[in-house]
Structure 1
Amino acid sequence: MNYTLKEINRIPKLLSRVKDYNFKFEKNKKYTFIGCGSSYNLGLIVSKIMNKFGYNSNVISGGEVIVFDEVPKTDIAIFISRTGESTETVQAIERFKNIKTIGITCTSNSSLTKKCTENYIFDFANEESVVMTGSFVFILNFLLNGIEFHDYSNITILNNIKNLVDSIDLKNYNHFVFLGFNEQYGVAKESALKVQEMAMQNVEFHEPLEYRHGPKSTLTEKSLIVIYSKDTYEERVLANELRNMGAKIILVSEDGDLKIKYNNGFDSILRIILPQYIGFKKAILEGLDPDNPKNLSKSVILKR
């Protein structure tokens, strides 16, 4: 029990190892990220930031590849799977013929690594828990350093996150909403998944201003809304509006409830820790086991 908390707590230690790798994206190459679940969300976040910096990148789920035989035109295909055994991701590799394939996983001798042209195996980041936490943050930092290097090994944000979340009585909330633009939309998507996986809560994710156009109809005093802000006037206005409607708001910004300055998306590495701890804490309060959520397993195997 509580592997999840240990795996969140070791994030700074994991990040200290990112500098050991020299991985760089090239602007004259087109990249496609393939994954499922959290691994898909990793690709979504990285791809958005790459495109912002002039790289050519897209993302597609392993499921879309195998169901529709959908293979985007690309130079390098990057397959992400923590266990290296997710059926859709592994099967998708076979569709990318005559294309360089890179596998990113936390497990040696996996089906993924046996099929890819090149592999990065981060076995030290593997987790006992079903839900991806520290490994997600490490892989995200590794990939984003392929654009621009950032050393987050001395982060203190973990304690700030714990203090903030511990100050909130999560028993009062059963509706969790995560809002963000661009790559922060990917962070919001992954955030919702963490709380859904660990704590089995009602979750949503949207672009911030899109939340005003319909979704806010379900907002109640039991709603906790996290806004991953790019420090814009509009997002501050939205936060105030939703507070006035009765929701609990966590504004993540340079001067927000959780102080993280927006840095062209590289700060996503820090922001994604917040929902991991929320999911863990809410699961414990609900009497659930965050290490082994109902109906979930570390490897999603599609049986025929």
Structure 2
Amino acid sequence: MRGKYTIKEINRIPELLKKGKEYKITYDKDKKYTFIGCGSSYNLGLITTKMLNKNGYKSNVISGGEVIVFDKVPQTDIGIFISRTGESTETVKAVENFKKRKIKTIGITCTADTTLTKVCDETYIFEFANEESVVMTGSFVYILNFLLNGIKKIDIIKDAETVLSKIKEQIDTIDLKKYNHYVFLGYEEEYGISKEGALKIQEMAIQNVEYHEPLEYRHGPKSILNEHTLVVINSKDTKKEAKLAEELKNMEAEVILIGKGKDIDIPYNNGYETPLRMILPQYLGYKKALIEGYDPDQPRNLTKSVILD
């Protein structure tokens, strides 16, 4: 059965959030943090960095590839390396670049006894969140919530159950055969969620995708919008974003506005609600993949971990 692992891993998101409540990370406003990852793991660092910086902490993010190609290591006190499998070559090798500069290294992975767990000074291992499928889904939501809870503890378990149900109900009513162009819009941490959302559709369903800031979409990108475009707006509950949604609907696009009392009712909560917003593109990617005849468990040209010689 195509996608059996992907849907299982999306469905267990509330369970993952319950299981992981005992894990905790803390941040120090006197320290500088750098997040390192590739693909979805990079996006975890991007979103968390946006949240840390706007809450008075100092953080940045860099891809493992940029570190190892250019030996580029930002001035920092702690490097946090994220790899679901613990074996992503660029991320694992980047640890060496940080350690030779005497920077503390922390690994985050869902797999024990991997290279990342052996080379980092400390490691968080979430084996209960490991996944059979290639594409990162439930583990992304869990790890993001874990990282954000280090800034402020927010319990989203009950909300996750409700949101998951509502998202399925909404997406299942859309004729996805009609759409071959997907656009995700959001500001700041919601931009990171939009970037990751676009990646899910690209990975699972092999579709044409974009991500932008909401009002920036008017400045050129909307030229290719048409009746085959589906737009997801991760709003901060502003009037301007709601107005943009109406404008794009009038241009014949399908629009899903995420926000308080909107198409998907997830009120903006200073970014702490972002793990909930990730459920929609994951389920959307899964459904579109099935419709197109793809197996979301085994996307074309992709493996669970990029391992280089």
TM-score where L is the length of structure 1: 0.99
Within the candidate set 112, 117, 127, 2:116 is matched to 112
Which residue of 15, 21, 24 corresponds with 2:23? 21
Unmatched tracts of structure 1, length 5 or more: none
Question: Is 1:207 the equivalent of 2:182?
Answer: no
Question: How far did 1:255 drift?
Answer: 1.9
Letter in 2 for 1:192: A
Overall identity of the aligned pairs, in %: 68
Q: Distance in 1 between matches of 2:110 and 2:155?
A: 21
Q: Give the counterpart of 2:10 among 8, 11, 14.
A: 8
2-structure distance, mates of 1:154, 1:187: 21
How does 1:43-54 map onto structure 2 within 5 Å?
43-54=45-56
| 1:166-245 matches, cutoff 5 A | 166-245=172-251
2:272 and 2:30 mapped to 1: Cα distance?
Answer: 22
* Structure 2: distance between partners of 1:18 and 1:146: 13
Choose which of 266, 270, 282 in structure 2 pairs with 1:276.
282
Point out where structure 2 has 5 or more consecutive residues left out of the alignment.
none
1:82, CA displacement in angstroms? 0.2
Q: Is the 8 A contact 1:19 1:151 kept in 2?
A: no
Cα distance in structure 2, aligned partners of 1:104 and 1:152: 21
SS at match of 1:225: strand
Distance 1:68 1:208 in 2: 33
1:162 touches 1:277 (CA, 8 Å); kept in 2?
yes
Match of 2:134 in 1: 130
CA contact (8 A) 1:254 1:262 kept: yes
How far residue 154 of structure 1 moved from its aligned partner, in angstroms, is 1.8
Counterpart amino acid of 1:277?
Y
Deviations 1:158-189 (A, max 9, x none): 00000000011111100000000001000000
Deviations 1:190-228 (A, max 9, x none): 000000000000000000011000000010100000000
Please give the alpha-carbon distance, in whole angstroms, between the structure 2 residues aligned to 1:73 and 1:175.
39
8 Å Cα contact 1:178-1:225 kept in structure 2: yes
Letter in 1 for 2:126: F
Instruction: Tell me the TM-score normalised to structure 2 length.
Output: 0.97
Does the aligned pair in 2 maintain the 1:16–1:152 contact within 8 Å? no
Aligned equivalent of 2:80: 78
Equivalent-residue separation in structure 1 for 2:249 and 2:155 (angstroms): 35
Q: Which runs of 4+ in 1 moved over 2 A?
A: none
Q: Deviations over 1:134-175 (max 9, x none)?
A: 000000011000000011222311000000000111111000
Aligned AA (2:122) = E
* CA deviations over 1:28-58 (Å, ceiling 9, x no partner): 1110000000000000001001111001000
Tell me which residue corresponds to 2:59.
57
Q: Which amino acid aligns with 1:115?
A: V
CA distance in structure 2 between the aligned counterparts of 1:208 and 1:277, rounded to whole angstroms: 22
**What corresponds to 1:94 in structure 2?**
96
Q: How many residues align?
A: 303
